[in-house]
């Protein structure tokens, strides 16, 4: 790992614990195993360092694709939710700190939401494809269903450890449980994979 990445990783850990004001360049330099001169030589200022930290978080946020030609919606969606939710859980401390400082530094909270916002748009496109294939209710309220799913994942990621009984149990089965409720809300058939396979077989005859 190069010096720049070491400092960014250190800045993330210190920021999660102390917030922006408490995350001094001295603490970050100690955590990274470098001196402050190296930190300033690499980033120029504390503000620039934290801007780079937020940009780095956005660039590493997974936006897993959903198939253009749906094969098995329940499987596709469950794998997708597991990936997005897993990343949120891995970064719960960073998300909490950023939202805790939203009045003072709103741009940090916006960065935390950029990945999930893009992921939500991909999810909306996927459901539209299911509608076009006749695998979802054509009158389903996609925007509301997507908002509810994304909000559920966000709440799960940042609050499950302190409010475990407010979320599906066991934790490992939460992605599938969220997906099944989402599918029912939009009239997506649990037999969609079988229907897709049957239609393709008929088309091939």
- Superfamily of structural domain 3-58: Homeodomain-like (1.10.10.60)
Q: What pLDDT does residue 193 have?
A: 57
How many whole angstroms separate alpha carbon 162 and alpha carbon 93? 13
Q: What pLDDT does residue 69 have?
A: 84
How many whole angstroms separate alpha carbon 115 and alpha carbon 80? 13
Non-local CB neighbours of 90 within 8 Å, separated by 6+ positions: none
φ, ψ for residue 75, nearest 5 deg: -65, -45
Domain residue ranges of the chain, discontinuous segments joined by +: 3-58, 64-198
Cβ pair 1, 9 in contact under 8 A: yes
Mean pLDDT lowest among 52-56, 100-104, 108-112, 198-202: 198-202
Question: What Å distances lie between residue 19 and 15, 51, 79, 93, 180, CA to CA?
Answer: 5, 14, 33, 10, 37
pTM of the predicted model, to two decimals? Answer: 0.85
36: helix, strand or coil: helix
Q: Which CATH number is 64-198 given?
A: 1.10.357
133-192 pLDDT, tens digit per residue, is: 889 999 999 999 999 999 999 999 999 999 999 999 999 999 999 999 999 999 998 776
């Amino acid at each position: 790992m190069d010096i720049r990445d070491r400092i960014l990783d250190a800045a993330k850990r210190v920021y999660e614990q102390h917030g922006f004001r408490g995350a001094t360049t001295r603490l970050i330099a100690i955590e990274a195993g470098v001196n402050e001169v190296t930190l300033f030589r690499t980033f120029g200022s504390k503000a620039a360092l934290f801007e780079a930290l937020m940009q780095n978080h956005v660039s590493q946020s997974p936006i897993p694709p959903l198939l253009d030609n749906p094969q098995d919606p329940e499987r596709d969606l469950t794998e997708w939710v597991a990936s997005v939710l897993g990343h949120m859980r891995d970064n719960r401390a960073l998300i909490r700190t950023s939202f805790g400082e939203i009045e003072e530094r709103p741009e940090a909270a916006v960065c935390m939401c950029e990945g999930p916002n893009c992921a939500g748009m991909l999810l909306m496109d996927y459901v539209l494809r299911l509608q076009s294939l006749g695998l979802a209710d054509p009158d389903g309220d996609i925007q509301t269903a997507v908002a509810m799913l994304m909000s559920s994942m966000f709440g799960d990621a940042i609050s499950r450890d302190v409010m475990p009984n407010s979320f599906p149990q066991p934790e490992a089965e939460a992605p599938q449980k969220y997906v099944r409720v989402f599918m029912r809300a939009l009239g997506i058939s649990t037999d969609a994979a079988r229907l897709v396979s049957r239609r393709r077989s008929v088309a091939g005859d």
